[in-house]
Chains A and B, each alone.
Chain A
Amino acid sequence: MAVTVRQLAELVQGKVVGDGSLLIHAARTLHEAQPGEITFLDQTKNAAKLAGSHASAAVVPRQTVSVAKVLIEVEDPLFAFIAIVKHFQGAAPFKPSGIDPRAALDPSVIVGAEPSIAPFVTVGAGSRLGNRCRLEAGASIGRNCLLGDDVFIHSNAVLYDDTVLGDRVTIHANATLGADGFGYRLQQGRHVKVPQLGNVVVGNDVEIGAGATIDRGTFGPTRIGDGTKIDNLVQIAHNCAIGKHNAIAAQVGIAGSCTTGDYVFMGGQAGVRDHLHIGDRAMLAAKSGIANDVPAGRRMFLSPAHDERDAARISICIGKLPEMRRDLLRILKELDLMDEAGKDAPRKPQAPAA
C-alpha cells in the first residue's frame, strides 16, 4: 500500500511543506524509518534527530524547519502519527461479536446493546453490563457487579462481587479488583481475618494495568477517581480513595486508607504508607518511599522521601561522603586525635588495576 503525503495530510488535517506527491509505503519511528517511509517528531526541540533519520517524510509540530524531508505540520504530531499508523495497518473497525455460547452468564445478568463476550467468560448473578462491553476470554465478573458503557476487560481479569465500573474503563489481563483487603487481628497467637465487606468503585475513563490488584474496602468502597491511569502490577489496598486523573506507574504500592488529590503522579515502584494523604498535583518519584502526608504540588524523591530541594542536596552529599570522611580525618589529624580515629578508619579501597 502506498499513499501520497498529501493524502496522509488530509487524513490528519495537516499542512504539507514540500512535495505532496511523494509516495509513502509505511510509518515508523525516527530510528526505524527507511527511505519511502514517514516518521514523526513530537517536539520541535528534537529537530536534530529528524535530520539523522532515513525517513522521507515526517509529521511535525508547526514551524519545524527541515530541508531534506517532506513535512506534514499538525497541532499534535503524536496523535496524527497514530492515525497514520492505523491507516497503514488497515485494521477493520471493531465489530461486536455477541455473546459466545461457551460463556457462562447467570440468567439474571442484564447485558447492554452490542456486547462482545468471549468464550469462558463468567458473569455472576445480579450483575449488569453496559452497552458495547467487551469481555475477553476467561474474564470473570462476580455477582452484583455494575459495569458502565464501553468497558473493555481483557483475558482472565477478575472482578469480585459488588465491583462498580464507570464508562470507558479498561482492565488489562490478570488484573484483580475487589479481592479481600489485608485485614487481620491477632487473637491468642493467631491472625483472625477481619471480614472485608466493602467493594471497589471505579470512575469513568480509568485504565488498570495487567496484573494490578485493587482490594475491596473493609465496610465501604475503595475508590478510583475518573480519568486515573494505573499501570501493571500496582497494588492499591483497602479503603483507599484515589483522586481524578492520577497517573500511577508500574509496581507502585499504596497501603490502606490512603487518599490522593487530583493529577497526582507516582513513578514506578513508589510506595505509600497507610492512612496518608497525597495532595493535588503532587509528584512521587520512582522508588520513593512515602511515610508522611505530601502537600499539594510537592515533588518527593528518595526513600524515606524528601522534597525536591532536600533530596537533591542529600543525593549530592551522599556522593561527597568519601570527601567528607577525608575532611574529618584531616581535622582529627590536626587535633592530634589521629591514632584513636585511625583504629576505626576503614581501609583505603584498592585502586583498580591499570
Chain B
Amino acid sequence: MTVTVQQLADLVQGNLFGDRDVAIHSACGLEEAQVGDITLLADPQNVSRLQESKAVAAVVPVLLPTCGKALIQVADPLFAFAAIVQHLRGIKPPPPEGIDARAVIAPSAQVGERASIQPFVLIGENTVIGKRCRLAPGVRIGANCRLGDDVVIHANAVIQADTLIGDRVIVHANTVIGADGFGYRFTRGQQRKIPQLGTVVLGDDVEIGAGTKIDRGTFGPTTIAAGTKIGSLVQIAHNCQIGEHNLLAAQVGIAGSCATGENAVMGGQAGVKDHIQIGAGAVLEPGSGVIENIPARSRVSLYPSRDHADADEIVAGLKELPQMRRNLRRALKRLKGEFAIPAEACEA
C-alpha cells in the first residue's frame, strides 16, 4: 500500500512541512526505517537519530530542521504514528463471531451477543459471558464466573470458578486467575492446606500480562480495581486489594493481604512483603524490596526499600566502603596506636 505523506498528514490532522507528494510505503522505527518509509520521533532530543535514519518522512512533536525529510507535526506523535502504522498495515479482521463447534459450553452458561468463542474454549456452569467478548483458543473459564462486555482473553489463559471480571478487561495468554492462595497451617509435623474459598474480582479496563498469576482470596475476594495494568509474570497473592489505575511491571511479586492506593507504580521485579499498605501514588523503583508500609506519594528503592532520594548516596557509600574502612583504621592508629582499647570497652 502506497500513500502520499499528505494523505497521512490528513489522517492524523497534522501540520505537514516539506514535500507533500512523497510516497510512503510503510512505517517503521527510526533504526529500521528504509527509503520510502515514515518513522516516529517522539522525543525531540533524539533529532540526530532522525537525521541518520533512512526514512523519508517522520511524525514529530515540534517543528525541527527538516534534514530533507517531510515532517508531520502533531501534538501526540506516538498515537498519531500508531494510527499511521495501522492504516498502512491494514486493520486485522477481528476473529469470527459466534461459538466454534469445538468449544465446550456448559448448558447453564450464557454467552452475550456477538461474542467470539474459539476452538477448545471451555465455559463452566452458570458462567455469564458479556457482549462482544473474545475468548481465544484453549481459554478455560470455570463455573459461576461473570465477564463484562468487550472482554478479551488470550489463548490458554485459565479463569477459575467464581471470578468476576469487569468491562473491557484484557487477559493475556497463559495467565491464571483464581488459583488457590498459598495457605497452609503447620499441624502435627505437616503443612495442612487451608481451603481457599474466596474469589478474584477484576475491575473495568484492567489489563493483565502473559503468564501472570492472581490467587483467589481465602474467604473474600482478591481485588484488582478499575484501570490497573499488570505486566507479564506478576504474582499477586491471596487477599490483596490493588487500587485503581496502578501500574505493576513484569515479575513484580506481592505477598498476601497487601493493599495499594490509587495510582501506585511498581517497577519490574519489585517485591512486597505480606500485609503491607502502599499509599496512593507511591512509586516502587525496579527491583525494590518492600518490608514496611509505604506512605502515599513516596518513592522508594533498594532492598530493604528506603526513600529513593537517599538511594544514590547509599549506593555511592557502598562503593566507598573499602576506603572508609581504611580511613577508620588509619584514624584509629593515629589516635592511640592499633588495638589500644579493647573493642568491648566501646560497647558498654
A289: which B residues are within 8 A, CB to CB?
269, 286-287
| Contact call B174/A158, Cβ cutoff below 8 A | yes
Instruction: Give the nearest-CB partner of A306 in chain B.
Output: B319
Chain A residues with Cβ below 8 Å from B92 are 143, 161
**CB-contact partner of A334 in B156, B205, B341, under 8 A:** B341
Q: Which residues of B contact A195 (CB under 8 A)?
A: 82, 85-86
Task: Say how far A176's CB is from chain B's closest CB, in angstroms.
Answer: 4
Of all chain A residues, which has the CB nearest B85? A197
Distance of A304 Cα from B79 Cα, bound (Å): 34
- Asked whether A318 lies within 8 Å of B321 as measured between CB atoms, the reply is yes
C-alpha spacing A91/B209, complex, angstroms: 39
B225: Cβ under 8 A from any A Cβ:
no
Number of A-B contacts (CB under 8 A): 203
Find out whether the CB atom of A253 lies under 8 angstroms from the CB atom of B268: yes
The verdict on A86 contacting chain B, using a C-beta distance below 8 Å, is: no
How near does chain B come to A304, taking the closest CB pair, in angstroms? 5
| Bound: A304/B250 CA distance, A | 18
Chain A 90-127 interface mask (CB, 8 Å, partner B; 1/0):
00000000000010100000000000000010100000
Chain A CB within 8 A of B231 CB: yes
Contact of A219 among B28, B102, B119, B328 (CB under 8 A): B28
Determine if A189 is an interface residue (Cβ-Cβ < 8 Å): yes
Interface residues of B (CB under 8 A from A): 27-29, 32, 40, 78-79, 81-82, 85-86, 89, 92, 100, 102, 118-120, 136-138, 154-156, 170, 172-174, 205, 207, 209-211, 227, 229, 231-233, 245, 247, 249-251, 263, 268-269, 286-287, 302-303, 315, 318-319, 321-322, 324-325, 328-329, 331-332, 335-336, 341, 343, 345-347
Bound-complex Cα distance A8 to B206 (A): 59
A182 with B229: CB separation less than 8 A: yes
A156 touches B286 (CB 8 A): no
23 contacts between A and B (CB under 8 A): A120-B120, A158-B154, A158-B174, A161-B92, A180-B170, A180-B207, A191-B247, A197-B85, A197-B86, A211-B211, A219-B27, A235-B231, A239-B29, A253-B233, A253-B268, A255-B286, A303-B287, A304-B315, A313-B322, A324-B324, A327-B328, A330-B341, A335-B335
| A176 and B29 contacting across the interface, CB-CB below 8 Å | no
Given contacts A179-B154, A211-B174, contact A334 B336 (CB under 8 A): yes
Binary contact track A303-345/B, C-beta < 8 Å → 1, others 0: 1101000100110111011011011111101110010000001
Cα(A233)–Cα(B213), bound, Å: 12
In whole angstroms, what is the CA distance A295 to B253 when docked? 30
Listed from nearest, the 6 A-B pairs whose CB atoms lie closest are: A317-B321, A140-B155, A176-B210, A158-B173, A122-B137, A179-B210
Interface size in chain A (residues, C-beta < 8 A): 71
Shortest CB–CB separation between residue B166 and chain A, in angstroms?
14
**Residue of B173, B207, B229, B251 with highest tally of chain A CB at under 10 A:** B173
Question: A102: which B residues are within 8 A, CB to CB?
Answer: 102
A79 contacts chain B at the CB level, 8 A cutoff: no
A313 to B320, CA, bound (A): 10
A193 within 8 A of B: yes
Besides the known contacts A271-B287, A326-B343, 18 further A-B residue pairs in the complex with CB atoms under 8 A apart = A120-B120, A156-B138, A161-B92, A180-B172, A194-B78, A195-B86, A219-B82, A235-B250, A253-B251, A271-B286, A304-B315, A313-B321, A313-B322, A327-B332, A329-B346, A330-B346, A331-B331, A348-B347
